[in-house]
Chain A
Amino acid sequence: MIKITGLTKSFGTKKVLDNLNCTIKTGSIYGLIGANGAGKSTLMRIVTGVFKKDAGSIEVDGKELEDDEKIKQKFVYVPDDLFFFKNYTIKDTLKFYKNMYKDFDIDYAYEMVKTLNLNELQRIESFSKGMKRQTAIICALATNAEYMFFDETFDGIDPVVRNYIKKALASKIEEKGCTIIVSSHNLRELEDICDNLGLLYKGGILFESEINTLKTNMFKIQISFKRDFSEEDFKDFKVLNFKKTESVATIILEGNRGEYEEKLNDMNPLILDFLPLTLEEIFIYQMEVLGYEFNQMF
């Protein structure tokens, strides 16, 4: 588990992380969402040892994070701006990683290379952006590091590969108990990958929750009655958002779906539809509850 407390980092006079607190549980996929410049990459870089923190504490499995090789063996970081050595092929790069990481599984890496149909002897420089990302992901997964950080890595990967990687991530968590931390400025990119989400805003974690909890506790209904009705009729419910267009209302509710469904049916609605909420919508409504305008954050 990574426990971050009061983390602060400034670039010159600009405070990028301001007293950030967050907890990343072991064996999960943690999504770090935030606008460009929110501090996602900075947070990842500090945890992985690229940057030094100004203040605060980072505990990894109960121990304070230090510039120590043993602790760093637990991390692998795939930055947004990828770097490969000039003229290096996948084969060379895998060898490099093998020499760097004690638990690097080169057979696993070659298997992935084969599955993703990458040429191990071709220079990485000549790869497309997507292929470079795939290469970086392969290297990272093969390290078997306890904590894998992917900085906007899955953005723009095609759905087939994405699905494959998603499965690979899941099996890594299952087999090795790894923890994956993925950042993105696009919620849709994280929706189908992450277990937990943290929203980074102005250098701090504004909101943090499990996606399943969010999805099961928040739902959207479309409802209509013979009679005229208003938001007042739903005072027994936790209404996050209420919009009425003529005789049909669209309501975002937070709470136990089973209980709410029973109660709503008791009200004899003409129409009652439960609609799925996208993660983005969940976030928008949650932010509104917290008093933030979600659109201004992105």
Chain B
Amino acid sequence: MNLIKCFNMKYLIENIKKSKMAIALFTFAMPILTILVLINYSDDRTYYYDVYEIGGINIFFMYIIPVVFSICMFGYVYKKNSADFIGSMPLSRKTIFITNTIGGIVLIFITQLLALVGCFAVSAFFDSILFSGLVWDVFWYQTIGYIFVYTVTNLAMSLSGNARMQIVLTLLILFLVPFTSIYVKSNVGMPQTFQDNVEEVYFSYIDDTVYVDPFMNIIANGSYSYSAKAIVKMLVLSVIYCILGYFCFSKKKFENAGESFEKPIIHLIVKGLTLVPFVAILMEMNSIEEALLILGITFIYWLIYDLVTNKRPKLWKNILAFIIAGALVIAGFIVEESIYSKYIDYKSDEMSRLYLSNARKVIVTDIRAQDCRISFKEGFEEDAAVLLDMIAESEDLNRGRIEGEIYTNNGQKYKYRMYVNYEKLEAYVKEKELTKADSLDDKRVAISKYIVNAEMEKQIKQLIANDEFVERNVLYANESYYISSYVNSMPMEIKDEYSVIPKYYINLIEYEDHSIVVYTYEINKNEALTKLILEMCNTSTAEIIKKNSYDVYLNKVKLFNINTSGKYGDSIYLYGPMNDGEIEKLVMESAEEEVDFTKPFAVLYFEYDRVDFCFVTNKVAKVLTDIEERGFVGYEEVNVDKQEMIADIEMQEVTSGETYSQ
């Protein structure tokens, strides 16, 4: 078949023209909304973690725009009165199908291209930190995703001329298989009871199934990120659905335009398939009463379905069909469950089994996880047991790979990364990978989730360029959402006088191989860097407070070098909203001042939007006076007279030559 010969540009233009308003609305809506969202988040210098971050609106429209395009391009072809009109036009069926299919795909490309250009434009004009690789990934993933949904809708339209049936078929083609798969996998083999016997441990792994449908991948994996597998699957299926759609369209009987399936058996099969979610809910019920209620609702739905699709089967036939269809769907579930159960029981006799649970003794698993048994290499059982104890408390369970620090019984400390090899059902421990970044050129420097400005970035890169090691954490494509919790859970402890910054690490972030790669660098290794970061901290904290003073909380204040007389502890804590103009004024006035760490200094910890910031100042007495005025809410007990302590610190400041006016 010569595609060019079958493509009719004039027809395409006319076809688009007749629905120009709807097409224009939906072509521009998604890119415009995406741009607006990006602009909205562009001023806080947050970088975008994953596909979902910049593709959220894109995902929302994935099930709307292709369907709208499909209706615009094909919808009228299947209506009773318009079927005569278009069918008698000097257009062959293959021309209609191919022209409209290509037309819809072109429209999808335009929509995605606009979003792509919008992303880059926002990134260029505003401060949004978008990795170009991430933006391109969104472009391809979403474009193919949209085309996939478009071809599914076209196929559904070719199969049935009835609009309501088309919706049902579209939903069935898109969601039936992944829904059933996710349901079964999340319900099979779940241990019902927890055993204290340490000889028996289950390891929960996150199922690695990549579904065709991007939305189902979000449900299954909890994240929305680039997946080459999903793209290939969608592409292949799109081609198959296109061919199937063409075949159905060329054979279509337009005398049935606007009507549901002619053959009762086809109607029954489709109706029976729609029972799947009802049966899934029914199988979840714990009591007879609940089950009967769901059964009743399901039967009412069964009857309503016929009313909606204009079918009038005899009641007794309908009841019989309900029983048979219900039984078949249940049987299908049981068969599918049994297939997975066999997999779980594999090698069960040879393994020492462990339950992996979190600190609350709850099996660490969720909808995207299921249980399987693992065995360990010889001699590893002891370490594994210790390791798993640690893991059980950390909840750090991450797609078959667990990492962290571990202290064994003999006091040895090592970093671990545990992998689970699903094929061999083995687990092993490996030293954590330490590496030096190949090049810093393409990397962006971030503190917490905030990218530093270009000048600061340059300075930081210069300071760490010759340092030997940075730690490289590849956040795999499907795990990139973890980055959010990852950066937010950085240790905040102050290690020594040079490490007063709230974040222990700075991050060098890069988007490579379709995933965010984070190189972490320990700041306290480098004195110059520490000072530089502190200056930046003070400046950025002042900026944040200036913009959001009402939403910033002063969480904690810590004092240093105040104990020269040996009278005091070195810390005072205070919690509460920063509704104090004096602290705000202090921050604004002192933001540019240098800090001398040999003198008394205070570190003020602020929180805004669940991210911590710090401010370091030598004006300790001033800070304490302000805190005193606020009544030391939630302070750590200091067994001294507070006024005396303030006076003492003021004296230290004066004697060390540091003065300030209140």
Interfacial residues, chain A to chain B (CB-CB below 8 A): 11-12, 42, 45, 48-52, 67-69, 72-73, 75-77, 79, 81-83, 85-86, 88, 92, 95-96, 99-101, 149
Task: Tell me the complex Cα distance, A85–B20, Å.
Answer: 12
Return chain B residues, CB-CB under 8 Å to A95: 14
Interface size band for B = 20 to 34
Chain B neighbourhood of A42, CB < 8 A: 255
Q: Binary interface profile of B, 88-118, with partner A (CB < 8 Å = 1, else 0)?
A: 1111111100000000000000000000000
A83: chain B residues within 8 A (beta carbon): 81-82, 84-85
Contact B91 A72 (CB under 8 A): yes
Residues of chain A contacted by B173 (CB below 8 angstroms): none
Residue from the set B81, B83, B89, B250 with the largest chain A CB neighbour count within 10 Å: B89
Cross-chain pairs A/B with CB under 8 angstroms, 25 sampled: A11-B255, A12-B262, A42-B255, A45-B87, A45-B254, A45-B255, A48-B88, A49-B88, A50-B83, A50-B88, A51-B255, A52-B253, A67-B94, A72-B88, A75-B90, A77-B84, A79-B84, A79-B88, A81-B80, A83-B81, A83-B84, A85-B18, A92-B17, A99-B10, A100-B10
Instruction: Say whether B11 contacts A51, CB under 8 Å.
Output: no
Are A99 and B81 also in contact (CB < 8 A) when A49-B87, A51-B254, A69-B90 are? no
Q: Are A81 and B91 in contact (CB under 8 A)?
A: no
In the complex, what residue of chain A is closest to B80 when comparing beta carbons? Answer: A81
Which residues of chain A come closer than 8 Å to B90, judged between CB atoms?
A: 69, 72-73, 75, 100-101
Q: A12-B262, A42-B255 are in contact. List 5 more A-B contacts (CB 8 A).
A: A48-B88, A49-B88, A68-B92, A99-B13, A101-B90
- The answer, among B83, B88, B254, for a CB contact under 8 Å with A76, is B88
Q: B94 — which chain A residues lie within 8 A by C-beta?
A: 67
A266 CB → nearest B CB, Å: 56
A88 vs B17: C-alpha distance when bound (angstroms): 10
Q: Which chain A residue has the least Cβ–Cβ distance from B91? A: A69
Complex CA–CA separation, A231 to B529 (angstroms): 127
A95 to B10 alpha-carbon distance, docked (Å):
10
Task: Report how far A42 CA is from B256 CA in the complex, Å.
Answer: 12
Contacts of A72 in B (CB 8 A): 88-92
Residue numbers in B under 8 Å from A51 (CB-CB): 87, 253-255
Q: Given A51-B255, A77-B84, A83-B82: A99 and B89 within 8 A (CB)?
A: no
Question: Smallest Cβ distance from B591 to chain A, in angstroms?
Answer: 61
Which B residues are closer than 8 A to A by beta carbons?
10-11, 13-14, 17-18, 76, 80-85, 87-95, 250-251, 253-255, 262
Contact B84 A69 (CB under 8 A): no
Rounded to whole Å, the gap between the CB of B521 and the closest CB of chain A is 62
Residue of B nearest to A82 (CB): B81
Are B11 and A50 in contact (CB-based, < 8 A)?
no
Please determine whether B92 and A67 come into contact, CB atoms closer than 8 angstroms: yes
In the complex, chain A residues whose CB is within 8 Å of the CB of B83: 50
Contacts of A12 in B (CB 8 A): 262
Determine the distance from Cα of A149 to Cα of B85 in the docked complex, in whole angstroms: 12
Determine the chain B residues whose CB is within 8 A of the CB of A73 once the complex forms. 90
Decide if A86 touches B92 in the complex (CB within 8 Å): no
Chain A proximity of B470: nearest CB distance (Å)? 62
B92 close to A69 (CB less than 8 A)? yes
Residues of chain A within 8 A (CB-CB) of B92 are 67-69, 72
- Complex CA gap A92/B14 in Å reads 9
A67 to B97, CA, bound (A): 13
Nearest neighbor of A66 in chain B, beta-carbon distance: B92
**Nearest CB on B from A297, distance (A):** 23
* Residues on A with beta carbons closer than 8 Å to the beta carbon of B254: 45, 50-51
Among B80, B253, B255, the one with the most A-chain Cβ atoms within 10 Å of its Cβ is B255
Q: Which 3 A-B pairs have the closest CB atoms?
A: A50-B87, A77-B88, A79-B84
Closest-CB distance, B81 to chain A (whole angstroms): 4
Residues of B within 8 A of A68 (CB): 92
Judge whether A81 and B14 touch: CB under 8 Å. Answer: no
Interface centre among B83, B85, B94 (most CB of A within 10 A): B85
Residues on B with beta carbons closer than 8 Å to the beta carbon of A76? 88
Distance (whole angstroms) from the CB of A113 to the closest CB of chain B: 19
Shortest beta-carbon distance from A184 to chain B in Å:
17
Q: Is the CB of A81 within 8 A of B81?
A: yes
Tell me which of B18, B80, B89, B255 contacts A100 (CB under 8 A).
B89
Which residues of B sit under 8 angstroms from A88, Cβ to Cβ?
Answer: 18
**A100, B88: Cβ atoms closer than 8 Å:** no
A69 to B87, CA, bound (A): 11
- Chain A residues in 8 Å Cβ range of B262: 12
Q: Please give me the residue from chain B that is nearest to A81 by CB atom.
A: B81
CA A77 to CA B88, docked complex, whole Å = 6
Residues of A within 8 A of B14 (CB): 95-96, 99-100
Closest partner residue, chain A, to B95 (CB atom):
A69
**Interface core residue of B10, B80, B84, B254 (most chain A CB under 10 Å):** B84
Chain A residues whose C-beta falls within 8 Å of the C-beta of B13 in the assembled complex: 99
Closest to B79 in A: A83
Give every chain A residue within 8 A of B18 (Cβ-Cβ).
85-86, 88, 96
Smallest Cβ distance from A47 to chain B, in angstroms?
Answer: 9
Residues of chain B lying within 8 A (CB to CB) of residue A75: 88, 90
The CA-CA distance from A73 to B92 in the complex, in Å, is: 10
In the docked arrangement, what's the CA distance between A88 and B80, Å?
Answer: 19
Contacts of B85 in A (CB 8 A): 79, 83
A75 to B567, CA, bound (A): 105
CB distance from B529 to the nearest CB of A (A): 66
CA gap between A86 and B95 in the complex, in Å: 23
Residue of B nearest to A79 (CB): B84
- Residues on the A chain within 8 Å of B81, using CB: 79, 81-83
Chain B neighbourhood of A82, CB < 8 A: 81
CA distance A51 to B87 in the complex (A): 8
A100 touches B91 (CB 8 A): yes
Task: Looking at the assembled complex, report how far the CB atom of B659 sits from the nearest CB atom of chain A, in whole angstroms.
Answer: 78
B313 to chain A, nearest CB (A): 16
Residues of B within 8 A of A81 (CB): 80-81, 84
Cα distance, A48 to B95, chains bound together (Å):
16
CB distance from A100 to the nearest CB of B (A): 5
In this complex, what residue of A is CB-closest to B85? A83
Q: Please report the C-alpha to C-alpha distance between residue A149 and residue B18 in the assembled complex, in whole angstroms.
A: 25
Q: Which B residues touch A77, using CB under 8 A?
A: 84, 88
Contacts of A86 in B (CB 8 A): 18
Complex Cα gap A100–B87 (Å): 12
| Cβ–Cβ < 8 Å partners of A99 in chain B | 10-11, 13-14
Min CB distance, B59 to chain A, in Å?
31
Q: Could you tell me the distance between the alpha carbons of A81 and B80 in the complex, rounded to whole angstroms?
A: 9
User: How many angstroms between the C-alpha atoms of A93 and B190 in the bound complex?
Assistant: 63
Q: Which residue of A lies closest to B250 (CB)?
A: A67
Which residue of chain B is the closest to A97 with respect to CB atoms? B89
A100 to B18, CA, bound (A): 14
Report the bound CA distance from A75 to B90 in whole Å.
8
Taking a contact as CB atoms under 8 Å apart, the answer to whether B11 and A100 are in contact is yes
CB distance from B89 to the nearest CB of A (A): 5
What is the CA–CA distance of A99 and B85 in the complex, to the nearest angstrom?
15
Residue in B closest to A85 when the chains form the complex, CB atoms: B18
Chain B neighbourhood of A50, CB < 8 A? 83-84, 87-88, 254
Cα of A67 to Cα of B246 in the assembled complex, Å: 14
Q: How far is the CA of A21 from the CA of B163 in the complex (A)?
A: 37
A183 to chain B, nearest CB (A): 13
Complex Cα spacing A137 to B94, Å: 27
Give Cα A79 to B257, complex, Å. Answer: 15
Chain B neighbourhood of A100, CB < 8 A = 10-11, 14, 89-91
User: Which residues does chain A contribute within 8 Å of B84, judged by CB atoms?
Assistant: 45, 50, 77, 79, 81, 83
Which residue of the partner chain A has the closest CB to B84?
A79
Q: Give complex CA distance A72, B93 in Å.
A: 11
State A88–B19 Cα separation when bound (angstroms).
11
**Whole-angstrom distance between the alpha carbons of A121 and B76 in the complex?**
23
